[in-house]
Structure 1
Amino acid sequence: MTTAAERSRQGPVTAELPAGVELVEYGTAVGLALPDGVGRALAAGDVVDAAPDPYAPDRWSLRAGSKVGAVNVTVPGTREPFTVRVVPKVPIARLFFLLGYSLDADGIWREGEVDVAEHRELVPALAHALERQTDRALRQGLLQGYRTTEESSLVVRSRIREADQIRHRFGVMQPVEVTYDEFTTDIAENQILRTAVERLLRLPGVPRDVRRRLLHQRARLADVTPVARGQRMPCWQPTRLNTRYHSALRLAQVLLNGASAEHAPGGLRIDGFLFDMNQLFEDFVTVALREALRGSGRVAKLQDSHHLDEASAIRMRPDFVLYGPDGVPCAVADAKYKAERRGGYPDADLYQMLAYCTALGLEEGHLVYAKGNASHAAHRVRHAGIVIHQHALDLDQEPTGLLADIAQVASRMVAG
């Protein structure tokens, strides 16, 4: 029998890989025959929970956690990559609704501008939405702006970099080290869009008609430099001049910020994107609560830092803290992307909220879950006088119902 160590010493894998696997977020584990390098790459890349089968060589157990999306694992010596798709439990349209609260502070995504058409899978829906938003952004032509350029030139242009001229040229007059501002389309906004389009074109599962339209957008951006692998994405700031780009850029950032590791040891390459549903749910709950409490005379802070002990040695960061007009905390909430099980919610969540309430001097605390058997439950802590509320949101319902449930949570926080 060939051990995993012996297989790793045999060099690149040349056998044909299975086409891929589709997993469900927090679903049951799937056993699959995989080359050892692919299994280790998936485990090391924090894509899914991957573990080798101790009783069957070349078999791995794959189980999806809270991350949804699609990644390709490319192995040297094989033509086609191994694709892992993780399907979210919530409908695709609801996922995009949560994404809107995660990144868009202005509410653009919540007005129906980012549509997913009839697509029921994540990759086709994201590709369709990005192409439509890119087309809308570029409809009036590519945005132009000034970019600072430093280069060696035979012609003096703008300012001479005297220090670099002396350091590099040792007194020789030409070429000249110059710096100048160039008015060009090769700016951060266009570079981000070009890079996002390129990433989607590398993924399988993009419908043919959407791929054709993406190729058209890439042709529009042909004079723009895409961001190379491993380089940091350029920064952009929302302004009046780039207003028509805002929605497309935020959607592109969803894709690029959710990108998985693009390189792995031994020539393996992982390329794709993953969204963490834990983070998306937390962002939705906290931002929606802040909006529901706007105008109440109170100030909401997200991930505000506090300390549990008087020596300020133990730091804690509640997801949501509401302050009264006097600046004193008046309510606290924490979002948990968990569904209630037969035995109820984890007791550790209650202990965590009890610590928050004790340190902040509050009589009530609120835990907001993704789903539960009842919409609300309350627990009074012995000898403490603290009441911990557990709220459950049904993510399968329409956005209006979700926001109505958030409004109920907000009203309980204010009433407490």
Structure 2
Amino acid sequence: MSTQNVLFADLALGQQYHRQHLIRRSDVEMLGMMGGKVEEEGQIKVPATGVFLFLTATATNSFPGPGSLIREHGLRSSGWVHEDDILNLTLTVSEKHASNHTVTLEAVCENQHGDRLCSGPIQVAAPTEKQRSQYAEAPQFTLRAHHVFAELRAKTDLLPAVPTAVVHPCDPDSLLGAMAAAHEKLIVPILVGPEGKIRALAQQVGVDLAGVRIVGTEHSHASALKAVELCRNGEASALMKGSLHTDEMMSAVMSGSTGLRGARRISHVFVMDVPAYERALLVTDAAINIAPPLADKVDITQNAIDLAHILGIECPKVALLSAVETVSDKMPSTMDAALLCKMADRGQIHGAQLDGPLAFDNAISMAAAKTKKINSPVAGQADILVVPDIEAGNMLAKQMSYFAAADSAGIVLGARVPIVLTSRADDVKTRLASAAVMVLVAHARK
């Protein structure tokens, strides 16, 4: 969608332009970085001087629009801006100067309560040629700042490296990821796979394997079995997936007689660092359990809660996701959510606050929860998202990675040792983040 600019000749005295802007958390953080911020009773507020940006951006992007140039302004501000405020922005043409094609716009910004936050003149060199913008309104600002894994890495710096069996690292990303984790002193790698192939690959990508233990195997299936054996006999304290398929490695882990099963159902957790979200977000299960029944969801949820504790989240808020917020016998995920909440009330799931069913928007957006009048200690501030099945979870996690610029780590819990489980498409950065989470889990188990 595009919009046409307004030429100097077409601007009339008294002509007005009005738009609204919803203040999101990313706006507050961005304005706070530039102009300072104050936190009161858990809510952040920023000085209303930040509104200058929204008013001047409205002039250059919308009215008069593309081709406009801000000459000067005399904007004055008062008060504070909070998350979820609705800014009402109005520009009115008060003067025109034909000699230099400039106009003076009287700018006013009020919040949803009618409080005036900013006002004053903006002098603009108006366009004289037709142009179109690529959006109907000035864009919403988004502040992208990753912080979750930086904080976790600071914790791992205090811990010794974990002996880790790296299963079949026979492509560049898996070998480079393992050796990067070794270089960062996260793991002591034991490379399990065809030795000749691993050494040839190392030479190709410029990796020095001096002093690195290699346990030779013939193929990927044998690599998985041998890596599990190393964990069973205590030579390794963790597993890291290489270039083999997930089901091939997990079949060795799940074997009843020679595997690594523990008392609980084994499940996967994505730890997501989403720039648009102010806290770490755990998504489970998006990789192991296809359509888990209620009993398995109990273990899946508890595994994620225990991981949240290890990551430093004292009492995580768990959102049990579905497509709606009401319980319906026609939608099994809503029934499971309600039962899991009751089980938590009775101590069968512990260490967290649970609520559900909740739709995704209500789980992570306070504004959406308020609009739908959902009174919940979890809604809008979830730390853990428990998805109804692997399809929903996998799509959700990958959408956050590819559309929301999220960093992620993948780990399997419930086995005798923690397992770094990433996609074969994941880069070295993701493998390092996953290794950092694994180190915290491995040391917490001790």
Shorter chain as normaliser: what TM range? under 0.3
What TM-score, normalized to structure 1?
Answer: 0.25
What TM-score, normalized to structure 2?
Answer: 0.24
Q: Report which structure shows greater RCO (CA 8 Å, sep ≥6).
A: 2
Q: Please say which structure displays the higher CA radius of gyration.
A: 2
